[in-house]
Amino acid sequence: MNDSIRADVPLLSVRDLRIVSDSGDEQIVLVDGVSFDVFPGETLCIVGESGSGKSLTVLAVMGLLPPALRIGGGSILFQGREMIGLPERELRSIRGRGIGMVFQDPMTSLNPLRRIGPQLTEAVRLHNPRASRKDASARIQDLLQQVGVTQPERSTRAYPHEWSGGMRQRAMIAMAMANDPDLLIADEPTTALDVTIQAQVMQSLARVRAAHDSAMILITHNLGLAVENASRIIVMYSGRIVEFGDVATVFEQPTHPYTRALLASLVTGGRERIPAIPGNPPSPRNRPQGCAFAPRCALHAGRDVCTQKRPELRPTVSGSLSACHFAEELLMVGTAS
């Protein structure tokens, strides 16, 4: 690692990120006003329901938004370099080398027609054209061993369908770590796996990440994973950040009713129940004029400001940032109970 990078200089700095979809004359805003920093070596967690914009945010960082979407504004600095508008060739040299990514569904993330080995060693060779096949292979075998794949020499000759989901996700982790990236992005890395395998794969991920001192953005809707792995947490709702703070603070003193509801469902709902927040998130096409969460909010209580004025993300006394007009009421309730 480069010693001249001080811990207070962010590795990744996202400012006012806006992701839009142009469909006909109408512009749909899918992600709006998202700002955060990731510091070297830390783990930042992003939680939120599906459709909240968390995956789009990290895909934008990779420069891999689907063709129908585009970045409508803002800035993404990685190691001080602006990623938005960077030529494809330079983006390519960052993907897989500066930033590695693990995707949600290991069953579909590998090319079914190619052997696993070549798909993994390719990650090394793309960024080290002079590395021999043998060196690249040795590097991958080593990584596979680190993430808990036994007998990697033999098994990498297999095709993806011959591996279990857990094994494939380990392979994906090895691929993402192939070039010792400074930043690892894991987009719901265990969601598609059996519950029994989830913990093992998460441990492998945490172990290999720590060993290589990479920072990580962990996207999940499992708050338990957030507590175990992250130092800071972002809660997203309907394309915006609604709460942002240290994990411990956010869990003890949530400053947004959505976060509070998520936590409540975690405690009372147990493992089998889906978070019981009444209603559904608004469609990005017709978000309420005021707070996007207002229609589902218990704190709202018919107050006009919630339906008329969109709350900005602001500091609260707990130390977290909150996008709720009445964050302080939550804190009072929190201390009273």
Partner 1 sequence: MIRYLVRRLLQGVLTLFCVVTIAFVLGRASGKPAALLLTEGATAQQIDELNGRLGFNRPLGEQYLDYLGGLLRGDFGVSYRNPSAPAITLIAERLPATISLALISFAIGLTVAIGAAILIHITGSTRLRATFVWGGSLRQAMPDFFFGVVLVLILSVGLHALPSLGFTGPLSYVLPVITIATGQFVLYVRLLDSALSEQSTQDYVVTAYARGKSQAAVVVGEMLPNALLPILTMAGMNLAGLLGGTVIVETVFAWPGVGQVLMQAVSTRDFAVVQAGLLVVAIMFVVVNLAVDLLYPVLDPRVRLA
Q: What would the x/- binding string for partner 1 be over residues 57 to 96, using CB under 8 A?
A: -----x-x-xx--------------------x---xxxxx
β-bridge mates for residue 210, sequence order: none
β-bridge mates for residue 5, sequence order: none
Q: Tokens 């938005």 sit at which residue? A: 84
CB of 185 or CB of 294, closer to partner 1:
185
Size, binding site for partner 1 by CB under 8 A: 32
CB of 82 or CB of 90, closer to partner 1:
90
Taking the complex as a whole, the smallest distance from the CB of residue 171 to partner 1 amounts, in Å, to 11
Q: Which of residues 122-181 bind partner 1 (CB under 8 A)?
A: 122-123, 126-127, 159, 161, 172, 175-176, 178
Check: CB of residue 186 under 8 Å from CB of residue 172.
no
Check: CB of residue 281 under 8 Å from CB of residue 51.
yes
Q: Answer yes or no whether residue 105 interacts with partner 1 by CB under 8 A.
A: yes
Taking the complex as a whole, the smallest distance from the CB of residue 45 to partner 1 amounts, in Å, to 20
Q: Answer yes or no whether residue 39 interacts with partner 1 by CB under 8 A.
A: no
Rounded CA separation 34/131 (Å) = 39
Sheet architecture: strand order including 12-23: 26-38, 12-23, 69-78, 81-82
Rounded CA separation 190/227 (Å) = 15
Structure tokens at 226: 């957030």
Taking the complex as a whole, the smallest distance from the CB of residue 161 to partner 1 amounts, in Å, to 5
The number of beta carbons lying within 10 Å of the beta carbon of residue 101 is 23
Q: Return the range that interacts with partner 1 (CB under 8 A); candidates 13-21, 105-113, 216-224, 283-291.
A: 105-113
Taking the complex as a whole, the smallest distance from the CB of residue 177 to partner 1 amounts, in Å, to 11
Rounded CA separation 156/119 (Å) = 9
| Positions that interact with partner 1 (CB under 8 A) | 62, 64, 66-67, 88, 92-97, 100-101, 103, 105, 108-114, 122-123, 126-127, 159, 161, 172, 175-176, 178
